[in-house]
A and B are shown apart, each in its own frame.
Chain A
Amino acid sequence: MSEAIVADDHDEAATAPGHSDAAAAVAAASSPRRGGRSLPLLVALGFAGLSVAVVAHMTETPWSYAATSTPAAIIDLAAGLGLIVAGVAYGLARQRGSIGPLSAMIGVAWLSADWIGWADGPAITRSVAMVVAPFLLPLVVHLSVAFPTGRVTGRRARSLVALAYGVTASVSLAWALLRDPFLDRYCWPNCTDNSFLIRTEPDVTRSLTTLWLYFSVATALVLAASCAWWLSWASQAARRTLAPVLGPAALVAATQALYAGLLLADPAENPDRRAFAAVFLARAAALIALAAGITWAVRRGLRTQRSVARLADELGAAPPPGSLRAALARSLGDDRLEVAYWLPGPQAYIDARGQPVDPSPGPTQAVTPIERNGQPIAVVIHDRSLEASHDLEREIGAASRLAVDNERLRAQALAQLAGLRTSRARIVETADNTRRQLERNLHDGAQQRLLALSYELQLAEADARAAGDTQLAGVLTTAGEKASRALVELRDLAHGIFPVILTEAGLGPALATFVDTAPLRVELVDLPDERLPDHTETTTYLAVTAAVEHAARRSASRIVATFRLLDTDLEVELVDDGTGDNPDDLIRIRDRVGALGGRLDIDGTRIQMVIPCG
């Protein structure tokens, strides 16, 4: 019965190389909490248990390294069981990926050496174990390449793994079919049984063994070198993730190379010899380290999952601005955390509201960039201690990347809006200053000269009259009148360009003067007494005068302007009794009011304006 179960397990293990995906699928099909995971779990643990029994059942002459002494047995079991348990835990904790099953199978491959050495056991058991045992190396290769995602990506990696499995499978198969343990000089640990033997070819077998050993050395060294290379190229965060597994994997590879090399040099394997014992210890130790690394990865993975789950929950589908920052701060437990978004155009950092922000970290803080398709899109400024225990970039994950993008785009739009607003306000301010300057120039220049001219004409006329030259006097009088009319026009022009009284005395007097000569009756209600900021007064004055003219064009006879001064705005409502509707008339005033950040709405005979006082 136990054999049947064991045979099942061996079948599964035998089919492992070509069907690791199926095994992974089986493992993945179960959820971390419940599910159809129980069968592989039970099988793995069952095999582990049985291996213990096998090892415990030691014979006089040791047919495996574990049988040499109790400490050796303990170490041997620690390595194998450790890998199986770590693999099972990994499979339980992660939802997909082949790392768990791979780890368990490495454990199985390692422990099959003990099954090979079970001299009293059935022949078929030992023969199957012999087929399985060599797969230790390709399994380690596969695990190293696939960690941590569980998938093998990249042509080179895939070829390496495929090659390893392929060669191992071919050699193992050939051995099974052609190796006669009786005729093999170096038959330890199995000198008696081979259920699969069909033809005895000792020379072929020998050559294959040598070939296999060379291949093992080469592959193991390549793997060790690759692990070292990957680790050196990885970023700090990646290294923290990869090192616990790739480091021991390199060690495993190195010790395997050592073992294969030793066998090449001295084919008579004998566990009592010091060299072989030492290499065995090294191999076991490396595998124990690998098991520890995988367990570490399980712990990390659980923490990450919890964090991501928390984050994804909090962010939801369409988070309001600034909620990314809040969610990240809560998730990571750092309330001084800040998020700054990168604007490629102006080459500056802005916060969620579009305001410029300084992304440099404080004395106890560090900066983690967030990238999308290799382009930096944001930085997270956080407490330094977070760096050591979290892999922030990964943990933020796909869900929040969308939120980061959203917030960044929104922040960008807000920043652009703010820029637009200030530039519009500047344009209006410049226009106002120009007007003031023009009025001043007229006053100080043309008007003065014309005045002086008119005085001189007057004097000349007086002289002419005194001299009796009435004709000249008449000419000069006419000239004087013309000068006078020009002066009047200039005066009105200057006032139309900019009413100086507006700056000096405010809206009240300025509007009162306007009303004096308005083309219709104007009533000003609740005009505020206090002075308001320059741009508010100018814009209000221009808006009211434009509204009055607009009413005049619509044949109104009367207009009432009601003012209401609030904390931050001046509200003006104008109602007239005109007819018709021509909202385009006021488009310039609407632009001006809008440039200040205010509003102007026209509704037939009623105009409502809000002009900011800030």
Chain B
Amino acid sequence: MADDAMLTREGIVHLLDEAGVDVVAQADDADGLLRAVTRWSPDVAVVDIKMPPTHTDEGLVAAQRIRDEQPDVAVLVLSQYLEPSYAMRLLERHPEKVGYLLKERIFAAAVLVDALHRVCDGETVVDPTIVSRLFRRRRDDDPLATLSRREHDVLELVAEGLSNKAIADRLHVAARTVESHVTQIFLKLGVDTSPDSHRRVLAVLSFLRH
């Protein structure tokens, strides 16, 4: 767990403890984080975006490095900023095993634990608030209007990073149904990326942004 604000860091650590997650190390800057990850090889590194010295995007940069150097370690980035650009930047190089969550979401420990599990399993996590915002954007000739209700829901969950199986569980349908829905959606919207690849989350987010 890396966060330079003590209150938040301790609060989250406490939450994790209560949820039965083993917090092996804490850090309050990027260097400390990288050292700890190298030393402990945790399952997940939970990282705040803003850390010393510049308090801009140290967390993001550290996340990239961890994914580059230790691909087994998943990274969950926490932020107070509802900023799709950060999320998309995070997904650019390594879409799997990363997540971007708003800190205000995780006071419900279940959400945090669920996200941790998902990134560990190799999935992507994008905070639903970000996704819903992107969906609510006003567009000319809204292409999303061509989607059916069900397809809409599927697309939203795809943008949040859920795997086909997870989507199937959430919507109570078969995984195959989800697969075909996704393929169909991508065709309709003209999204280039393969509907099965890990890059599909970024593709959808980019599509939504433009």
Contact = CB atoms under 8 A, between A and B. Distances in A.
B8 A458 contact: no
B146 to A, nearest CB: 17
Given A451-B7, A516-B133, A457 B107 contact: yes
A501 B85 contact: yes
Contact of B7 (A449, A457, A480): A449
A458 B8 CA distance: 13
B138 interface: yes
Contacts of A449: 7
Nearest to A501: B83
B5 interface: yes
Nearest to A463: B18
Contacts of B14: 455-456, 459
Contacts of B5: 444, 448
Interface string A441-474: 0011001110110111111001000000000000
B84 A454 contact: no
A487 B83 contact: no
A455 B11 contact: yes
A535 to B, nearest CB: 19
A518 B138 contact: yes
B81 interface: yes
Task: Kindly state the interface size class of chain A when it binds its partner.
Answer: 35 or more
A521 B80 contact: no
Contacts of B109: 458, 462
A515 B208 CA distance: 12
A458 B108 contact: yes
Interface in A55-86: none
Given A454-B104, A484-B107, A512-B209, A448 B8 contact: yes
Contacts of B81: 491, 495, 500-501
B104 A488 contact: yes
B93 interface: no
Contacts of A483: 107
Contacts of B84: 512-513, 516
Nearest to B4: A444
The DSSP consensus for interface residues of chain A is: helix
B93 to A, nearest CB: 16
A504 interface: yes
A512 B210 CA distance: 9
A509 interface: yes
B150 interface: no
Given A484-B104, A513-B83, A516-B134, A504 B15 contact: no
Nearest to B138: A521
Interface string A550-572: 00000000100000000000000
B107 A458 contact: yes
Interface string A213-235: 00000000000000000000000
Most chain A C-beta atoms within 10 Å of own C-beta, residue among B8, B85, B134, B209: B85
A504 B108 contact: no
B85 A513 contact: yes
Interface residues of B, number: 33
Interface in A343-391: none
Nearest to B10: A452
Interface in A485-539: 487-488, 491, 495, 500-501, 503-505, 509, 512-513, 515-523
Contacts of B133: 516-517
B122 to A, nearest CB: 28
Interface string B81-119: 111111000000000000000011011110000000000
A266 B103 CA distance: 125
Given A491-B104, A504-B57, A452 B140 contact: no
A293 B122 CA distance: 109
B107 A480 contact: yes
A487 B104 contact: yes
Contacts of A480: 107
A454 B107 contact: yes
Interface string B1-28: 0000101101110110010000000000
A451 B82 contact: no
B35 interface: no
Given A517-B136, A520-B138, A558-B140, A459 B18 contact: yes
A459 B7 contact: no
Please indicate which of the listed interface residues B18, B80, B82, B86 has the most CB atoms of chain A within 10 Å of its own CB: B80
B114 to A, nearest CB: 14
Interface string B164-187: 000000000000000000000000
Contacts of A444: 5
A512 B208 CA distance: 11
A443 B57 contact: no
Contacts of B134: 516
Contacts of B18: 459, 462
A452 B137 contact: no
A419 B81 CA distance: 40
B11 A452 contact: yes
A447 B15 contact: no
B65 interface: no
A458 B104 CA distance: 12
Contacts of A459: 14-15, 18
Contacts of B7: 448-449, 451-452
A475 B192 CA distance: 49
B188 interface: no
Interface in B70-88: 80-86
A558 B138 CA distance: 9
Contacts of B85: 501, 505, 509, 512-513
Given A451-B80, A501-B83, 19 more contacts: A444-B5, A451-B107, A452-B8, A454-B107, A455-B106, A456-B14, A459-B14, A484-B107, A491-B80, A495-B81, A495-B82, A501-B81, A501-B86, A509-B83, A512-B85, A517-B133, A517-B136, A517-B137, A521-B139
15 contacts: A447-B80, A448-B5, A449-B7, A451-B107, A452-B8, A455-B106, A459-B15, A488-B104, A491-B80, A501-B86, A509-B83, A517-B133, A517-B136, A518-B137, A521-B138
Interface of A: 443-444, 447-449, 451-452, 454-459, 462, 480, 483-484, 487-488, 491, 495, 500-501, 503-505, 509, 512-513, 515-523, 558
A-B pairs with the 8 shortest C-beta distances?
A455-B11, A509-B85, A454-B107, A452-B7, A487-B104, A521-B138, A458-B107, A452-B11
